[in-house]
Structure 1
Protein backbone atom coordinates (compact mmCIF):
# COMPACT_ATOMS: atom_id res chain seq x y z
CA UNK A 1 0.00 0.00 0.00
CA UNK A 2 1.41 3.35 -0.98
CA UNK A 3 1.03 6.15 1.54
CA UNK A 4 2.29 9.68 1.37
CA UNK A 5 3.44 11.75 4.30
CA UNK A 6 4.30 15.43 4.45
CA UNK A 7 7.40 16.32 6.48
CA UNK A 8 8.57 19.77 7.40
CA UNK A 9 11.89 20.73 5.83
CA UNK A 10 13.90 20.27 9.03
CA UNK A 11 12.68 16.71 9.61
CA UNK A 12 13.06 15.86 5.93
CA UNK A 13 16.67 17.11 6.01
CA UNK A 14 17.38 15.09 9.16
CA UNK A 15 15.98 11.91 7.59
CA UNK A 16 18.07 12.45 4.46
CA UNK A 17 21.15 13.08 6.59
CA UNK A 18 20.69 9.83 8.54
CA UNK A 19 19.98 7.94 5.32
CA UNK A 20 23.20 9.25 3.79
CA UNK A 21 25.25 8.32 6.86
CA UNK A 22 23.84 4.78 6.74
CA UNK A 23 24.04 4.44 2.95
CA UNK A 24 20.31 3.75 2.86
CA UNK A 25 17.38 5.40 1.20
CA UNK A 26 15.28 7.92 3.09
CA UNK A 27 12.34 5.61 2.38
CA UNK A 28 14.07 2.72 4.20
CA UNK A 29 14.89 4.95 7.19
CA UNK A 30 11.30 6.16 7.45
CA UNK A 31 9.87 2.64 7.12
CA UNK A 32 12.16 1.41 9.90
CA UNK A 33 11.29 4.37 12.13
CA UNK A 34 7.55 3.83 11.64
CA UNK A 35 7.88 0.07 12.26
CA UNK A 36 9.81 0.69 15.49
CA UNK A 37 7.25 3.25 16.65
CA UNK A 38 4.31 0.93 15.93
CA UNK A 39 6.00 -2.00 17.71
CA UNK A 40 6.74 0.17 20.75
CA UNK A 41 3.17 1.50 20.91
CA UNK A 42 1.70 -2.00 20.50
CA UNK A 43 3.88 -3.24 23.37
CA UNK A 44 2.82 -0.26 25.49
CA UNK A 45 -0.85 -1.02 24.80
CA UNK A 46 -0.38 -4.73 25.63
CA UNK A 47 1.25 -3.70 28.92
CA UNK A 48 -1.62 -1.32 29.66
CA UNK A 49 -4.24 -3.95 28.93
CA UNK A 50 -2.39 -6.49 31.10
CA UNK A 51 -2.19 -3.96 33.94
CA UNK A 52 -5.91 -3.21 33.67
CA UNK A 53 -6.73 -6.94 33.69
CA UNK A 54 -4.47 -7.45 36.71
CA UNK A 55 -6.11 -4.56 38.53
CA UNK A 56 -9.57 -5.97 37.75
CA UNK A 57 -8.48 -9.41 38.98
CA UNK A 58 -7.17 -7.87 42.21
CA UNK A 59 -10.42 -5.97 42.76
CA UNK A 60 -12.38 -9.19 42.29
CA UNK A 61 -10.18 -11.52 44.38
CA UNK A 62 -7.91 -9.39 46.57
CA UNK A 63 -5.06 -11.79 45.75
CA UNK A 64 -1.71 -10.10 45.20
CA UNK A 65 2.05 -9.97 45.76
CA UNK A 66 3.74 -6.94 47.23
CA UNK A 67 6.80 -5.24 45.76
CA UNK A 68 9.22 -6.72 48.32
CA UNK A 69 8.03 -10.25 47.51
CA UNK A 70 8.49 -9.72 43.79
CA UNK A 71 11.92 -8.06 44.23
CA UNK A 72 13.16 -10.90 46.46
CA UNK A 73 12.05 -13.42 43.84
CA UNK A 74 13.64 -11.49 40.95
CA UNK A 75 16.85 -10.88 42.92
CA UNK A 76 17.21 -14.63 43.38
CA UNK A 77 17.25 -15.33 39.64
CA UNK A 78 20.52 -16.86 38.48
CA UNK A 79 21.76 -17.49 42.03
CA UNK A 80 22.36 -20.77 43.81
CA UNK A 81 19.32 -19.98 45.98
CA UNK A 82 16.93 -19.21 43.10
CA UNK A 83 13.40 -19.01 44.49
CA UNK A 84 10.26 -20.36 42.81
CA UNK A 85 7.42 -18.05 41.85
CA UNK A 86 5.84 -16.70 45.04
CA UNK A 87 2.22 -17.54 45.78
CA UNK A 88 -0.33 -14.74 45.65
CA UNK A 89 -2.15 -14.07 48.90
CA UNK A 90 -5.06 -12.02 50.24
Structure 2
Protein backbone atom coordinates (compact mmCIF):
# COMPACT_ATOMS: atom_id res chain seq x y z
CA UNK A 1 0.00 0.00 0.00
CA UNK A 2 1.26 3.45 -0.82
CA UNK A 3 0.21 6.55 1.15
CA UNK A 4 1.15 10.16 0.54
CA UNK A 5 1.80 12.62 3.32
CA UNK A 6 2.56 16.32 3.06
CA UNK A 7 5.24 17.61 5.42
CA UNK A 8 6.12 21.21 6.07
CA UNK A 9 9.66 22.20 5.12
CA UNK A 10 10.89 22.32 8.72
CA UNK A 11 9.76 18.77 9.51
CA UNK A 12 11.08 17.49 6.20
CA UNK A 13 14.49 19.05 6.95
CA UNK A 14 14.52 17.53 10.44
CA UNK A 15 13.76 14.06 9.07
CA UNK A 16 16.40 14.40 6.37
CA UNK A 17 18.93 15.51 9.00
CA UNK A 18 18.14 12.51 11.24
CA UNK A 19 18.32 10.16 8.27
CA UNK A 20 21.72 11.55 7.32
CA UNK A 21 23.07 11.13 10.85
CA UNK A 22 21.90 7.52 10.88
CA UNK A 23 23.01 6.77 7.30
CA UNK A 24 19.43 5.80 6.47
CA UNK A 25 16.84 7.05 4.03
CA UNK A 26 14.17 9.51 5.14
CA UNK A 27 11.65 6.86 4.08
CA UNK A 28 13.15 4.34 6.55
CA UNK A 29 13.15 6.91 9.37
CA UNK A 30 9.49 7.79 8.74
CA UNK A 31 8.43 4.13 8.53
CA UNK A 32 10.12 3.40 11.86
CA UNK A 33 8.55 6.46 13.49
CA UNK A 34 5.09 5.50 12.28
CA UNK A 35 5.55 1.88 13.42
CA UNK A 36 6.66 3.04 16.88
CA UNK A 37 3.69 5.40 17.10
CA UNK A 38 1.27 2.62 16.12
CA UNK A 39 2.78 0.24 18.70
CA UNK A 40 2.58 2.90 21.43
CA UNK A 41 -1.05 3.72 20.63
CA UNK A 42 -2.01 0.03 20.49
CA UNK A 43 -0.38 -0.50 23.90
CA UNK A 44 -2.22 2.54 25.27
CA UNK A 45 -5.53 1.14 23.98
CA UNK A 46 -4.82 -2.29 25.51
CA UNK A 47 -4.03 -0.60 28.84
CA UNK A 48 -7.27 1.41 28.65
CA UNK A 49 -9.33 -1.68 27.89
CA UNK A 50 -7.68 -3.63 30.73
CA UNK A 51 -8.32 -0.74 33.14
CA UNK A 52 -11.98 -0.55 32.10
CA UNK A 53 -12.38 -4.32 32.52
CA UNK A 54 -10.74 -4.12 35.97
CA UNK A 55 -13.03 -1.26 36.97
CA UNK A 56 -16.10 -3.23 35.84
CA UNK A 57 -14.89 -6.29 37.76
CA UNK A 58 -14.37 -4.17 40.88
CA UNK A 59 -17.83 -2.63 40.55
CA UNK A 60 -19.37 -6.10 40.31
CA UNK A 61 -17.31 -7.87 42.97
CA UNK A 62 -15.94 -5.16 45.26
CA UNK A 63 -12.69 -7.16 45.46
CA UNK A 64 -9.59 -4.97 45.57
CA UNK A 65 -6.15 -4.16 46.96
CA UNK A 66 -5.26 -0.75 48.30
CA UNK A 67 -2.22 1.26 47.26
CA UNK A 68 -0.24 0.50 50.42
CA UNK A 69 -0.72 -3.25 49.90
CA UNK A 70 0.45 -3.05 46.30
CA UNK A 71 3.45 -0.83 47.13
CA UNK A 72 4.55 -3.20 49.93
CA UNK A 73 4.27 -6.16 47.60
CA UNK A 74 6.14 -4.46 44.75
CA UNK A 75 8.73 -2.99 47.10
CA UNK A 76 10.20 -6.38 47.93
CA UNK A 77 10.36 -7.78 44.39
CA UNK A 78 13.79 -9.18 43.61
CA UNK A 79 14.82 -9.42 47.28
CA UNK A 80 15.44 -12.48 49.40
CA UNK A 81 12.27 -11.63 51.35
CA UNK A 82 10.00 -11.40 48.31
CA UNK A 83 6.37 -11.77 49.36
CA UNK A 84 3.62 -13.58 47.46
CA UNK A 85 0.93 -11.46 45.82
CA UNK A 86 -1.51 -10.16 48.44
CA UNK A 87 -5.04 -11.56 48.52
CA UNK A 88 -7.83 -9.31 47.29
CA UNK A 89 -10.48 -8.36 49.83
CA UNK A 90 -13.89 -6.67 49.89
TM range, normalised to the smaller chain?
over 0.9
Find the counterpart in structure 1 of residue 54 from structure 2: 54
1:22, distance to aligned residue in structure 2 (A): 0.5
Correspondence for 1:9: 9
Q: 1:8, 1:77 → 2: CA distance? A: 48
- Structure 1 residues 1-90: aligned runs within 5 Å: 1-90=1-90
**What is the alpha-carbon distance in structure 1 between the residues aligned to residue 7 and residue 87 of structure 2?**
52
CA RMSD of aligned residues (A): 0.5
Paired residue secondary structure (2:35): helix
In the alignment, structure 1 segments of 5+ residues that lack a partner are none
Instruction: Write out per-residue CA displacement over residues 6-61 of structure 1, whole angstroms, 9 at most, x where no aligned residue.
Output: 11111011000000010000000000000000000000010000000000000000
Structure 1 length normalisation: TM-score?
0.98
Give 1:2 deviation, angstroms: 1.1
Structure 1 outlier segments of 4+, above 2 Å? none
